[in-house]
Structure 1
Amino acid sequence: MTRKTVRIAMNGVTGRMGYRQHLVRSILALREQGGLDLGDGTVLWPEPVLVGRREHALRELADRHGLDQANVSTDVDAVLADDSIDIFFDAAMTSTREDLLKKAIAAGKHIYTEKPSATSLDGALELARLANAAGIKHGVVQDKIFLPGLLKLKRLIDGGFFGRILSVRGEFGYWVFEGDWQEAQRPSWNYRAEDGGGIVVDMFPHWEYVLHELFGRVKSVTALAATHIPQRWDEQSKPYDATADDAAYGIFELESGAIAQINSSWAVRVNRDELVEFQVDGTEGSAVAGLRNCRAQHRSATPKPVWNPDIPVTESFREQWQEVPDNGEFDNGFKVQWELFLRHVALDEPYHWDLLAGARGVQLAELGLKSSAEGRRYDVPELTL
C-alpha cells in the first residue's frame, strides 16, 4: 500500500464541535484506523495543522494527541500561504467564516466548513461562485443525515414504507444554562446576534438539508423566533444581554406537498428519548427517528384509539411501535462525511454537499428570520449559480 499525506488546516479546533467531532472523532479516528483506504492501493493519511487564536490551547491539544508541535499556528495567512496545505477547514465563529473562506479560496485550497457557510445568502452564493471559478473542491458539513436514526428513517422512505408522506414533526433542543449558577454548555457568542449567534442561523441550515435529502425541497417557510432568556452570563461569569434568538418555531411546506413543523429551542427541558426527534406520518405507516434510534408503526398494526377523557388510558401507545433494526454498523456521522469529502478531493468522486448546498441552508435561515420579523410566509426560491 502507498501512503499519501493530505495536510488539513483545521481552524477552530479548540471549540467543542471542532475538537470533539472533527479533530478527535473524525481526523484522529482516521489516523487510528491507519488512514483512509482509497481502494486503489493508496491509503490517504490526514495530517492536521491546528489553527486558532490561542496558541497555548492549540499546543496543549497537539501534546495531548501526540501531534507535531510544528503543526500549530496562530497565523492563518501564513498557513494559507503554505503550499503543503491541501485543505482548509473552518469550525470557528460564524461571523469570521466568510472572510476566512474567501482567503482560502484565493490561496487555492480545497474548502470544507461547518455551517452556516456565511452570514447572508449573497455571501454564501459568492463563496460558491468563487470556489467554482477557482476549480477547487468544496464541502459543507451536513452531519445529521449520516446519523444512525436518520439512516434508518431513510431506509424506510426508500423502501416505500410510508406510502404518501403527509407530515414531518421535529423537536430539537435542551436547556442551556444561563451561566449564573451553572456553567453554560455553549459559548456565549451563540446568544449575541452581533457575533453571529442565534438558533435560526444555527439550526435552520440543518433542517434545510435534512428535509431536502429525506423528503424533498423546502418550498415555503413560516417562522417565529424568540429570545426567551434575555440575560445570560459569559465565560468570565459576567452578565450580558442575549440579543440573539434562543428558540424558533417553523413550518415548512415541501415540494411534495408534505408539511414539516420543527421546534428548535435552547430553553426547553427534554421529555423525549433523544435531543432531537422527527415523527413522520404517511398513509401506510409512521416512524419516529432520533439521533440513533428509529421506531415504526405500520398501517396494519395501527391501534384504534377513541377519545374519552372520562376514563384512564388503558394502553401504552409507545409499546405499540416496533424498533427498526440496525442491520449494519454505523460510524460517526462527522467522520463518514469527512471520508466522503477526502475521497472527493483525492479521487474526484461525486459529492453534492457543497457550498451551493450550504447556501440553501443560509437562505432558509435568512427567510426564516424575515418571516418572523414580518409575520408572514415566504416562498423559498430554488437556487442556481
Structure 2
Amino acid sequence: MDRKIVRIAMNGVTGRMGYRQHLVRSILAIRDQGGLDLGGDVLWPEPVLVGRREHALRDIADRHGLTEVATDLDAVLADDTIDIYFDAQVTSARVEALTKAITAGKHVYAEKPTATDLAGALGLARLAESAGIRHGVVQDKIFLPGLLKLKRLIDGGFFGEILSVRGEFGYWVFEGDWQPAQRPSWNYRAEDGGGIVVDMFPHWEYVLHELFGRVTSVTAQVATHIPRRWDEQSRAYEATAADAAYGIFLLEGGAVAQINSSWAVRVHRDELVEFQVDGTHGSAVAGLRNCRAQHRSATPMPVWNPDLPLIESFRDQWQQVPDNGEFANGFKTQWELFLRHVVLGTPYHWDLLAGARGVQLAELGLRSSAEGRRLDVPELTL
C-alpha cells in the first residue's frame, strides 16, 4: 500500500472555523486515522499553514507537530509541490486569493460565501472551469446527522408531497461591552463582507436545493437589531450589516420555505438550528444531530379551546429517527469527498457554481428587503 502525499495550502487557519473545523477536525483528524483510504493507496494530507501573522501560525504548528508555515501567499502558490489551495479568510479577501490560486493551476477548496457579490462568485466558477482545475465549496450542513436523517426520510417517501419547510436559526451574540462577543466584529460590518444574509443565505440555498428543490423566488426582510457593538479591543463601533433576516423562499415544485436567521434571538429550541418539514403523509423536525418524525397515522387531533388548560404534551407525540449508523464530522466528510475528487476524479457537485448560487440568493435577499418585493431567482449557468 503506497502513501500519496497531497500538500494543501491552508489560508485562514488562525480563525475559529478554519482552525477548529478544517484544520483540527478535518485534516488533522484524517492524519490521526492513518490517512484517507483510496481503495489500495492511502492519501496523506500535508498542511502548509498560510496567513499574515507568522507568530500565530507558528503557535498552531507547534501545538500540532506541524512544520510548514508561510506569510507570502504568492510564494506558496508558486511552489509546484502544492496541490490544493484552501481559503477560510474573511469573505472580502477570498476572490483575490482564489483567483491567484486558480491562475497558478492549483485545485481550490473554499469556505462560503465565495465572494461578496454574484459577479465575483460567477467569475471564480468560470475561471476554474476554463483552467481545468478541480474546485469545491464548503456546504457542511447537509452532512449534519440531523439533516442526513431528514434526507433519509425524504428519500424513503415518508412525507408524501412536501408542502412547507420552516427553519429557525440563531442565538444571542453578546454586544461585546459587558460580555465578549462570540463572533468576530467584522461579521457586523458590511464593508468587510459581514452580515447574517451574506453568511447564512448561502447555507439555506444549498440546504433547500439539495433536500427539497431549487429556490425560484425570495422575499426577505433584514434588520440590524443591535446597531452598536464592541470589537475585540473593546472599542465601540456602529454595526453596518444586518444581524437578522426573515426569508420566504418558493421552491421548484411548489413547496414554501420560511427561514428566520438571527444573532439577536434567545434560544427556545432543542438545537441552534431546526427545520420543520410538513408533508401530506408526515412531518419531521431536524436539528444539528436529532430528527423527530410524526406519521399521518400517528397524528393526534388537537382541538382549539382557550378555555381549558392544555393537558397533552405535543413533543411527546413525535418519534425519534434512529441513527442507524455512525456520523462523522460534516466538515471532515466533505473534505474526504473533495480529496477523493482531486486524486481519483470521483463525482463532486459542490463546486464553485454551487457556491455562486449561495451568493446569488444572499444578493437577491438583500435586494428584496431594500426594494420591499419578491424577486425571482434565475437559474445559474456557466
Q: In the TM superposition, what are the counterparts of 1:1-385 in structure 2 within 5 Å?
A: 1-39=1-39, 41-68=40-67, 71-385=68-382
SS at 2:45's partner residue? Answer: strand
Q: Kindly tell me the number of residue pairs found equivalent between the two proteins.
A: 382
Q: Distance in 1 between matches of 2:41 and 2:253?
A: 43
What's the CA shift string for 1:189-238, capped at 9, x where partnerless?
Answer: 00000000000000000000000000000010000010000010000000
Structure 1 residue 280 displacement after superposition: 0.1
Q: What is the letter of the counterpart of residue 225 of structure 1?
A: V
Q: Distance in 1 between matches of 2:267 and 2:75?
A: 45
Q: Distance in 2 between matches of 1:18 and 1:123?
A: 22
SS at 1:360's partner residue? Answer: helix
Q: What is the letter of the counterpart of residue 139 of structure 2?
A: Q
Q: Distance in 1 between matches of 2:80 and 2:238?
A: 43
Q: Distance in 2 between matches of 1:232 and 1:90?
A: 27
SS at 1:168's partner residue? Answer: strand
Q: What is the letter of the counterpart of residue 49 of structure 1?
A: V
Q: Distance in 2 between matches of 1:174 and 1:347?
A: 41
Q: Percent identity?
A: 85
Q: Distance in 1 between matches of 2:85 and 2:235?
A: 34
Q: Distance in 1 between matches of 2:182 and 2:70?
A: 27
SS at 1:133's partner residue? Answer: helix
Q: What is the letter of the counterpart of residue 24 of structure 2?
A: V
Q: Distance in 1 between matches of 2:14 and 2:105?
A: 25
Q: What is the letter of the counterpart of residue 295 of structure 2?
A: H
Q: Distance in 1 between matches of 2:51 and 2:179?
A: 27
Q: Distance in 2 between matches of 1:139 and 1:146?
A: 15
Q: What is the letter of the counterpart of residue 180 of structure 2?
A: E
Q: Distance in 2 between matches of 1:105 and 1:198?
A: 27
SS at 1:151's partner residue? Answer: helix
Q: Distance in 2 between matches of 1:94 and 1:37?
A: 33
Q: Distance in 1 between matches of 2:225 and 2:54?
A: 36
TM-score, length of structure 2 as denominator length: 1.00
SS at 1:53's partner residue? Answer: coil
Structure 2: gaps (5+ residues)? none
Q: What is the letter of the counterpart of residue 38 of structure 1?
A: L
Q: What is the letter of the counterpart of residue 21 of structure 1?
A: Q
Q: What is the letter of the counterpart of residue 337 of structure 1?
A: Q
Q: Distance in 2 between matches of 1:208 and 1:53?
A: 32
SS at 1:27's partner residue? Answer: helix
SS at 1:79's partner residue? Answer: helix
Structure 1 residue 256 displacement after superposition: 1.1
Q: Distance in 1 between matches of 2:89 and 2:124?
A: 17
Q: Distance in 2 between matches of 1:250 and 1:206?
A: 13
Q: Distance in 2 between matches of 1:53 and 1:309?
A: 61
Q: What is the letter of the counterpart of residue 77 of structure 2?
A: L
Q: Distance in 2 between matches of 1:241 and 1:47?
A: 41
SS at 2:337's partner residue? Answer: helix
Q: Distance in 2 between matches of 1:347 and 1:319?
A: 47
Q: Which 4+ runs in 1 deviate beyond 6 A?
A: none
Q: Distance in 1 between matches of 2:262 and 2:53?
A: 30
Structure 1 residue 141 displacement after superposition: 0.2
SS at 1:10's partner residue? Answer: strand
Q: What is the letter of the counterpart of residue 369 of structure 1?
A: L
Q: Distance in 1 between matches of 2:287 and 2:109?
A: 26
Q: Distance in 2 between matches of 1:25 and 1:32?
A: 10
Q: Distance in 2 between matches of 1:3 and 1:226?
A: 52
